[in-house]
Structure 1
Amino acid sequence: MICFGPDHGRGLVDMTHVEVRSVVDTWAAQDAELGARWRWVQIFENRGTAMGASNPHPHGQVWACDALPDEAAVEDTHQREHFARSGSSLLLDYLRTELVAGERIVLNEEDWVVVVPFWAMWPFETLLLPRRPVSRLADLDPAQRDGLAHVLGRLLAGYDALFAHPFPFSMGWHGAPGPHPAPTPPTPPMPSDRRPETVWQLHAHFYPPLLRSPTIRKHVVGYEMFAEVQRDLTPEDAAIRLRTVMSASWDSVVTLPPTAATALPGSPLHLRPS
């Protein structure tokens, strides 16, 4: 378990940039330490009782295992097949396509992009990706770590603003499977803008269950359980709703206003002073 801080009432969305950066550094350190021995390192957070978080203290978890879990194995297969065909990263090629289209982009930062993927199952599901090649958390350079702390604050504040309610979710990181023996002697990491594209591109999945309000959640039952998952709103609609409640300037201090929940898609809403 990774406790984000000493205060039971403050999660990542409530923490300062420096505090969130310390969590990012802890994730990277755990990925480096455990990834040197284990095949798969799964870093994740369950937020809220709706997603099974029984401990009220904001925290995340780290599991390590010596075999690829099913989800990781599927991603590994598809990324390897694409790289063998094209010599480029599947997820970076996908990101380039989304950036050209623009309609499913939620946040477009210098080092990170948040998109509602077209295959999303959950209503406001998002995918968080580095803009440049990086295969795992341990490989993030200082600028990317700072950018990640910033984009996490904006994304989580946007989620909470959507219904003016602490948004439950499960989020998890997927990076290159190990083990990754440490180089001897240690060498400084290559800057991200000089790294070649590789099979694996680091990314995080956010799976939030809420549908139309804090009291209405999506349930995967019936036809969805036995046949095929159905979307309750389009990825484009989800993206514009999330963009609407994102701030152009986020300082991690000012409390989100209740009016954020009633903002209409297409109406700019500034949650923080510029």
Structure 2
Amino acid sequence: MTPTTLCVRGRHGPMESKVMCFHPWSDVTLPLMSVPEIRAVVDAWASVTEELGAQYPWVQIFENKGAMMGCSNPHPHCQVWASSFLPDVAQREERSQRTYQSQHGEPLLMEYGRQELLRKDRLVLTSEHWLVLVPFWAVWPFQTLLLPRRHVRRLPELTSAERDDLAYIMKKLLTKYDNLFETSFPYSMGWHGAPMESEAGANWDHWQLHAHYYPPLLRSATVRKFMVGYEMLAQAQRDLTPEQAAERLRALPEVHYLLGQKDRETAAIA
């Protein structure tokens, strides 16, 4: 095959990565941390987004929790990858949100959040500034979407009150996850926000900040969903509906199962 007929082309894409530990103790995961400790993580996420965003248009924060999700270091941590290009998933979200905004005059995920608040049956948690829901397109058994109620493009744009509330609702969600099968619930999660201001005059107002949670567990602490066969080659299938998943998560207690009875009573009063 001559160079003029090559169907594959490659190019170098500069990137930078960081690892962020959540807590000095290796056995303290996010749901076991205090709300102020989680707030410190939120602030660190916002800071690293600004820091790397000064040089790279895309800053991807993600956490792989548990060996089931490929995590080789049990110390609770996340990773941050910054790239000089928009990755594939980010490009798809960019197209979808830009198209919807141009056709309807408002951000896609703002309207979607309002619809889910009206329906209620796919909601898991709500607070003053945030909502957690099982999206109608979910393919992982207990997949969730975390959305701010206000139009916010990026993590650094969150107000102090929104950051406090984010720490609060994250602790609730992740506690429910752990309580589902009484295990340290594995998942991959990550934040998606507007690309950083890499182009003069670029408008990213069609973007709405959000986080995706993709947990693999299906029936127990050891039985997981596998994306194989038909799902890998044709179309993903659901083992339970988004409404069923949301109902199960809603019904779970917001006090972690590892807490003793005395701690449970104290936490319930607080």
TM-score of the superposed pair, with normalisation by structure 2:
0.87
Task: Tell me which of 226, 232, 240 is aligned to 1:233.
Answer: 240
Q: Provide structure 1 residue ranges, at least 5 long, that are not aligned to the other structure.
A: 182-196, 259-269
Partner of 1:209: 216
**CA distance change for structure 1 residues 50 and 271 in 2, over 3 Å: closer, same or farther?**
farther
Taking the TM superposition and a 5 Å limit, the aligned residue runs for 1:167-178 are: 167-178=185-196
| Rounded Cα–Cα distance in structure 2 between residues aligned with 1:271 and 1:49 | 32
Helix, strand or coil for the counterpart of 2:81?
Answer: strand
Q: Cα deviations across residues 236-259 of structure 1 (Å, max 9, x unaligned)? A: 000000001043xx6x8x83579x
Partner of 2:43: 25
Q: Cα deviations across residues 198-248 of structure 1 (Å, max 9, x unaligned)? A: 30000000000000101110000111011100000000000000001043x
| Rounded Cα–Cα distance in structure 2 between residues aligned with 1:101 and 1:28 | 31
Please state how far the C-alpha of 1:179 moved relative to its aligned partner: 3.3
| Rounded Cα–Cα distance in structure 2 between residues aligned with 1:231 and 1:115 | 16
Please state how far the C-alpha of 1:106 moved relative to its aligned partner: 0.1
Larger C-alpha radius of gyration, 1 or 2?
A: 2
Helix, strand or coil for the counterpart of 2:212?
Answer: strand
Partner of 2:228: 221
| Rounded Cα–Cα distance in structure 1 between residues aligned with 2:259 and 2:115 | 33
| Rounded Cα–Cα distance in structure 2 between residues aligned with 1:152 and 1:83 | 28
Taking the TM superposition and a 5 Å limit, the aligned residue runs for 1:94-109 are: 94-109=112-127
| Rounded Cα–Cα distance in structure 1 between residues aligned with 2:176 and 2:143 | 13
Native 8 Å contact 1:45 1:171 kept in 2:
yes
Q: Cα deviations across residues 107-138 of structure 1 (Å, max 9, x unaligned)? A: 01100000000000100000000000100101
- Is 1:163 matched with 2:181? yes
**CA distance change for structure 1 residues 110 and 152 in 2, over 3 Å: closer, same or farther?**
same
Q: Cα deviations across residues 122-171 of structure 1 (Å, max 9, x unaligned)? A: 00000000000100101111000000100110000000000111100000
Partner of 1:139: 157
Helix, strand or coil for the counterpart of 2:226?
Answer: coil
Q: Provide structure 2 residue ranges, at least 5 long, that are not aligned to the other structure.
A: 1-18
Total equivalences in the alignment: 245
| Rounded Cα–Cα distance in structure 2 between residues aligned with 1:271 and 1:35 | 42
| Rounded Cα–Cα distance in structure 2 between residues aligned with 1:161 and 1:11 | 14
Native 8 Å contact 1:245 1:271 kept in 2:
no
Partner of 1:261: none
**CA distance change for structure 1 residues 102 and 32 in 2, over 3 Å: closer, same or farther?**
same
Identical-residue share of aligned pairs (%): 54
Q: Cα deviations across residues 54-93 of structure 1 (Å, max 9, x unaligned)? A: 0011000000001100000000001000111111010000
Structure 1 counterpart of 2:24, one-letter code: P
- Is 1:255 matched with 2:258? yes
Please state how far the C-alpha of 1:48 moved relative to its aligned partner: 0.3
- Is 1:273 matched with 2:268? yes
| Rounded Cα–Cα distance in structure 1 between residues aligned with 2:260 and 2:139 | 29
- Is 1:71 matched with 2:66? no
Helix, strand or coil for the counterpart of 1:170?
Answer: strand
Partner of 1:58: 76
TM-score of the superposed pair, with normalisation by structure 1:
0.85
Structure 2 counterpart of 1:149, one-letter code: A
What is the root-mean-square deviation of aligned Cα atoms in Å?
2.0
